[in-house]
Amino acid sequence: MKYILIIILTGCTVNKQLNLDLSPSNEIVISQKSNVSLLNRIRVNPGIYIEGSGETAKVFTKGVTSINNQKEVLFILDGVKVGSYSKVVNILDPTKIKRIEILKNANDIAFYGFLGSGGVILIKTQ
């Protein structure tokens, strides 16, 4: 499916086409190429909850954990477990992102054990 995202920033309008693969496994793939920050790229997913902003933001998936016991999403960068958003944002150049895959399904995140129990975001770079 193709969606058109319109972002309005201080009077400027930018049109971006997103290729979103909405599969029944509750997995969402975001493929877009631009210099938009990683946080804004994953924010377009309705299954993501972001607390805070900038390098100190915390990323959670909706529906994976209870409200009282939220666990941050595990970021995997090119197959390497990096950790939370605050760790990945310091080592990742957003212009090099080729693909972002968000895993929320219990079968998909089971491979990552306790670290991935809050959800997993796979990032593939060029």
Q: Which of 49, 54, 52 lies closest to 118, judged by CA?
A: 49
Phi and psi of 11, rounded to 5°? 90, -10
So where are the chain's domains? Answer: 21-125
What pLDDT is attached to residue 76? 95
| pTM, entire model | 0.69
pLDDT of residue 74: 94
Instruction: Give the tens place of pLDDT for each residue, 67-105.
Output: 566 789 999 999 999 999 999 988 988 888 899 999 988
Return the CATH number of the domain spanning residue range 21-125. Answer: 2.170.130.10
Total Cβ atoms within 10 A of residue 42: 21
- Dump pLDDT digits (tens) for 18-56: 444 444 444 555 555 556 788 888 888 888 889 988 889
Contact in structure between 59 and 50 (CB atoms under 8 Å): yes
